[in-house]
Structure formats: C-alpha cells, structure tokens
Chain A
C-alpha cells in the first residue's frame, strides 16, 4: 500500500497554493507535514483525501490512479483541528456513524465501537452527547470515528491545536501507539516542530506551498537539506549569521566572534544556522565559543530559559536549562556549541553533516 503524489499542483485563480509536488508515502508509516499556517498542509491533505482536486498532476493509491475519484468512494478518514462530531448524536452513534453507512451488522458495529472506545478511554461516555464532553473528549470521539473505519488513509489536520497544554501532551503521547499496528498510512499536519520530533516517523517540511524536504524525521531535523528546511524545523526560530572561512578560522561577519574547526570545506562565505538550545549561558560540549550579548528580554518557563540578545547587528535567541535570570539591557556572556553548527553555502544548501 502506498500513496503517491505525482507532480501535483493546485492553483486557485492566479494564486498557486501548492507548487508541483512529488511525494510517496508508504504503508504503516506516520508522515508529518510540518509548516506554518498557510504553508499548504490542509490543501495537500484535502487533495490526498479527494476533497479537493489538483489542478495538475496525479494521485496514485496502491498502484491505481485515483485522481478525481470521489471522497465517498475512497477509504479514508480525517480528524480536524476543530472538534467535528455530529451534534445531536451520542458518542456511540458518532463513532458508529461511518460504519452504519457501509451497512455493517449492528452486532459487529457494537463490538468495533466498543473496542475503539476503550482504546481512546471513552467507554464511560458512550451515551453522552458531544456538547457534554470536554474538548479533549470531543477530539477523542473524532479520533475514534476516524479509527473505527479501518481506513487505508488517516489524515489528521492539526488535531491537537485546539486542546489545552496538558491534554495535548497526553494525546500526543498516545497517538503513535494508536496507529502502531494498523495497516494504513497516517498523515499528520502540524505547525510545531516538537510534535514532529515526539511522534517520529517521516516528516515533510513545507513552506509557501512547496515541500522542501521529505525523509525520516530525525534525518530531516539533523541534516536539513537547506536553510529553509532547517528554519521550518526549528522552534524557537533558528539563529542565522553570515560567516567567512579562511583556513581553519571561521569568523562571523561584522563582529569578533571566531572559532577554529577542521571542517573540510572551501574557503569563502557561508551561512551558519544555530538552534537556540545550542547557545547557552553555560558551556556545553567540548568545543564552544563565547559570544557577548546585550539582553533584550528573558522568558523563564521554569525548566528552561529563553534569552533574546543582540550581538553586532543581529538578534539572537538562546535556550538554556533551568532558570537563568537576566535583566533587560544586561551585558552577558553566552556559549555556542560549535559541534552543532549547520553550515550552508551561498545557495543555502547544507555543506556539513554534523
């Protein structure tokens, strides 16, 4: 089983919502579409489901061209950011609704709904109506409806975005387990890099209607093909600076931060990408370089401290463990972990792998 998009393109009027996209999703995988709002995640999913037709290109499912096949005739299910359930059905009826339409016997429906309800901890609420449930329970009901059907393709469009923090964490942990031994392709759209890292599987980074990179989640994270992919897959935002390499000396333009490395690339101009957690108020790793900064603001969350500072003409973001209290305007010293730097050439392509 596989889902393949071949040169899929979507235009609305003169606007291009999806630029020509080629991507192949294999069975038993969770695939994450990672990108900010308006990156085209939802459009891409709707094209996959058949809710929307591509302007150009083809969609192949299991070796069959399904472009233009109506959604009702495909075997897929979808969960939305909003909690979508039938308002005047009970939880049981809601979960059973996709089965009833296919005409399965009521005994079997009862059994299957019961199983899914248990999996999603809804057994006690089968007789309640959606508006009597909490947001988390409503979303569980929607998830149960998607799972009960044994779809070939399950699409999850930012399913956790409207949940509060605790519920989000709880459900995010459960999600990969729910799909573990299911014979289906799962597509999960999210704006949060953290979601992708926690769920694992494969990730496609998206920006402005383009798939930037697709591959195993950790590969995409550790070895972003280019600067764009790295930026999409970094939250808080990645620090980017232009540097000059001369022999073994690397120097950030317009300030005095420099370090030595035996990285084998040609001399010349490069860009470096540094994730915020690789700039800390304490030394981390064996090779670090000092950077002085003037604190713009510091955000403390208890277990972590986010410090924004300026150095030269650039604004930097650093993320340190624990509470690192800094005053606004304070001159401070931070350390950058050289080993974690990502080097990009003038065409924004990654040149090192480490």
Chain B
C-alpha cells in the first residue's frame, strides 16, 4: 500500500515551533550572543571570543558562589529526602486522616515563592518575628541579618518548610501503589519492619524518588526568589547563591558579557548533573 504524502501535517506543528522559539531558543541564543561579545549598550558589540568564559571559570567569585550553591543543594537533599520519606511512611493510608494530611502537605507548595521569602523574613526577624524573638528569648544569640550561620540556618529551614512536602507527596504516591499482598507476603516470611522498608518499599519507590531527587536538585540548585527576599544574599556574601550572584552581575553591575557566559556555564552544569543522575538511576529500567 502506498502512503499518501501529506505535508499539511506540518501546519499543526508550527504553533509549537513558534512558542518554543520565543520562550526558549531566541532567549538562549541572545545569551549565547552576549557571552562572546562586549557591549556598552546602544547595540554596539565587540567580539571577545571565549574571554568571558575563561574569566568566569577562573574567577574566585564564581567558585565561591558555586561552592555555596553545591553545599546548599547537598544539605537540602540530605534533609528533605529522609524527612519526606519518613513523613510519607507515617501518613495514614485510609480514613479521614488522608485528605487532612494531603491538604496540610500541599499548603506550602501553593504559596508563591516571594511570599514564602517575605513570610520567613518577618517570621525570623530577631526583634519582632516569632521565630527570631523566641530563639533570642530562649537564650540563643540569633540574628539572620547579621550572622552568616543564622542566615544559612534560616534559608535551609525555609526551604525545608517549603519543599519537603513535594518529596512527601511523591513518596506517598509511591507507597500507595504497592499492593497490600507485598506486605502480607513479607509478614508471612517473618520480615521485620526494617526489612519491609529496605526490600519492598524502597525498591518500589525507586522511580518516584528518582523524580523527587531530580526535581529537588534542579529547584534548589536554581533557587533565587526566596533567598533574594529573605537575605538578599547576605550578610556579606554568605548566602549569595549562584543565581543571586548571576543577577547581581547582570543587572547590578551590568556586566552582560560575563553574566551571559556565567549563565551558560550554570545551565550546562544543571543539564550535565541531571543527565548523569538520570542515566545512572534509570540504567536497569529498560529491561522490562
């Protein structure tokens, strides 16, 4: 049978092409354009080759903010994953508790990011904020606007509050998809609670946890709004994460060339880590 050639089908793809072009390809190419040139505004450009890339890769400022970013993301994953799985395990599986828990868990996720930042800013103020004031009256010398340790503590606490729910909800979905027969079979075998977690629940949650780690990695690695509102990167440069630093360079100092180079490097790092991670985690999935 001969297939009829019908080029009209392409018409249906055009809207997507246009959309992707305007929200991804064109901005990305603009950044690429900036990253190889020097500009003083009014559309005057001078070719600089790979100079900005070399400069960024060797700059201590970049190393420092990248370091802060990596440490932040690492701590976030280290806290949120076990905590999220733990909460999901203790959530009820039936009855009126289910909707209550689910709604409670979804609440933080529904709050706009800058509101979260503002909320925590006020919440943590040492003089009038509930958290700050309480800590100080308990005898802790707490001031997140002055002491870098406190700033980190508050930023991490805020992110844990805002995003652990995502891990909880994903893990809960994963747990709920395990058939009761698995638990019964393990019980009959005489398996302990830990055995059940280690050999049934964890392997069965593998896919959702992969997703959770990926999402939490990407989001925390690119975190901007909340620390911008909460600490603004301070005190000093203490919580100056990559994206904050990038915006300072681009809009604060108007160093468009280096900022463009930095965003490309940033983008490639995220892409690379996600790809490596996903490939490793999904290595033995293709078999089934």
Contacts and interface: CB of A to CB of B under 8 A. Distances in A.
A87 B203 CA distance: 7
A101 B188 contact: no
Contact of B199 (A49, A72, A89): A89
Contacts of B188: 49, 51, 71-72, 76-78, 98
Contacts, number: 52
A86 B190 contact: no
Nearest to A146: B188
A78 B181 CA distance: 10
A142 B190 CA distance: 15
A88 B181 CA distance: 17
A17 to B, nearest CB: 15
Interface in B24-64: none
A58 B177 CA distance: 34
Contacts of A132: 287-288
B184 interface: yes
A47 to B, nearest CB: 13
B179 A97 contact: no
A51 B191 CA distance: 14
A101 B199 contact: no
A263 interface: no
Nearest to B187: A71
Contacts of A21: none
A99 to B, nearest CB: 9
A80 B185 CA distance: 9
A87 B190 CA distance: 17
Contact of B287 (A71, A98, A131, A142): A131
B190 A84 contact: no
Nearest to B288: A131
A142 B189 CA distance: 12
B204 interface: yes
Interface in B160-216: 179, 181-182, 184-185, 187-191, 195, 199-200, 203-204
B184 A78 contact: yes
Interface of A: 46, 49, 51, 71-72, 76-78, 80-82, 84, 86-89, 97-98, 101-102, 131-132, 142, 145
